């Protein structure tokens, strides 16, 4: 992680001079206004989305789901689009509130849908999520097309960090704070992963934990979509990697999940900046390709033994 951070700070079309950095010249301004915020944004986005993926998988009790495959991201974009059309002068906080509310409602509807699926067919859950998210995305794209707002939609749904500057990424600190709140409920999320009946028999207030989990997922997704766009596969691949080697105890694995998510997203962003230097490939595209390959490996590789 330290190596990636140093590489991210040193990579860009303009050169950073250590002499100018200590003298407070243009290199210092470039570092603190652009490259440092970009590096922090990548780490915060990856960490928080990975945590959101863990919560989604525990609430749904399915390893093949994450905010990008259950319609949560699409609903968040729909909420942002509604605010842009209805109240274009609204503050960032108001846009975030509406986006989170729509994402919460959309994710709750998805959970209600998957409750009716046969538990013996786990692959039906992600398939339902993909279809559900596709329907929401189609409705959102139609509205954006009618009002000539497709460019905004493409920004929200394609995660990239080239536009991150000081003063334009701070919502991701809030996303990181929400991910920390998830650690407070870690034990409850672990018990909720046993199923509704088992969780209630163990004395868990299942409804309250469900609402808390949905709220955390909705807020993290909204913060990320609003700031840098959606990054696919982060909440899917990272939790599966950690669970494969460290088990399903959220209290023990959430810090490692967050660290690994931040590591992978920062690595994807740095790779995207180097592969066609000085041009850039969006981090969401890079991680989408690599994440798909890693996930296929996880599906076909034999489970690791834990002693």
The whole-number mean pLDDT for each consecutive block of 10 residues of the chain, a chain of 307 residues, reads 90 64 60 87 94 91 85 89 87 86 91 82 82 92 89 80 83 91 90 87 89 91 88 88 85 92 93 86 87 75 53
In this prediction, residue 121 carries a pLDDT of 76
Question: Measured between alpha carbons, how far is 173 from 115 in angstroms, rounded to an integer?
Answer: 34
- The predicted pLDDT at position 9 comes to 86
pLDDT at position 126 is 83
Largest CA distance in the chain: 65
53-103 pLDDT, tens digit each: 999 999 888 888 888 888 888 899 899 899 888 888 888 888 888 889 999
281: left (phi over 0), alpha (psi -120 to 50) or beta: beta
The pLDDT of residue 303: 54
In this prediction, residue 229 carries a pLDDT of 86
Task: For domain 2-300, give the CATH number.
Answer: 1.10.3470.10
pLDDT for 30: 74
- Whole-model pTM: value is 0.88
* End-to-end Cα, the chain, rounded Å: 28
Q: How far is CA 285 from CA 73, 78, 158, 191, in A?
A: 16, 21, 8, 35
Domain boundaries, the chain: 2-300
Q: Residue 16 burial by CB count (10 A; 0-12/13-18/19+): exposed, middle or buried?
A: middle
Which contiguous run of DSSP H or E holds residue 10? helix 2-10
What pLDDT is recorded for position 301? 67
pLDDT of residue 24: 56
Q: Which two tokens stand for residue 24?
A: 């407070």
């Amino acid at each position: 992680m330290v190596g990636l951070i140093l590489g991210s700070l040193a990579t860009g079309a303009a050169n950073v001079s250590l002499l100018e950095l200590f003298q407070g010249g243009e290199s210092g301004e470039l570092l603190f206004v652009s490259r440092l915020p970009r590096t922090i944004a990548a780490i915060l986005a990856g960490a928080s989305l990975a945590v959101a993926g863990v919560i989604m998988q525990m609430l749904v009790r399915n390893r093949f789901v994450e905010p990008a495959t259950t319609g949560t991201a699409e609903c968040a974009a729909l909420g942002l689009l509604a605010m842009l059309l209805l109240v274009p002068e609204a503050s960032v906080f108001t846009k975030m509130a509406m986006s989170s509310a729509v994402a919460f409602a959309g994710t709750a509807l998805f959970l209600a849908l998957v409750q009716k699926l046969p538990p013996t067919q786990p692959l039906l859950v992600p398939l339902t999520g993909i279809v559900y998210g596709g329907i929401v995305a189609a409705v959102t794209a139609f509205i954006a097309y009618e009002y000539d707002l497709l460019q905004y939609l493409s920004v929200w749904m394609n995660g990239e960090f080239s536009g991150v500057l000081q003063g334009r990424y701070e919502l991701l600190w809030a996303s990181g704070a929400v991910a920390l709140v998830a650690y407070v409920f870690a034990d409850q999320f672990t018990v909720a992963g046993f199923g509704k009946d088992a969780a209630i028999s163990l004395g868990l207030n299942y409804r309250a934990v469900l609402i808390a989990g949905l709220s955390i997922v909705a807020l993290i997704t909204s913060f990320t979509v609003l700031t840098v766009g959606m990054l696919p596969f982060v909440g899917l691949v990272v939790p599966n990697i950690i669970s494969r080697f460290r088990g399903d105890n959220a209290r023990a694995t959430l810090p490692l999940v967050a660290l690994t998510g931040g590591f992978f997203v920062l690595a994807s962003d740095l790779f995207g900046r180097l592969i066609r230097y000085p041009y850039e490939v969006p981090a969401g595209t890079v991680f989408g390709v690599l994440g798909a390959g890693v996930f296929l490996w996880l599906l076909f590789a034999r489970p690791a033994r834990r002693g």
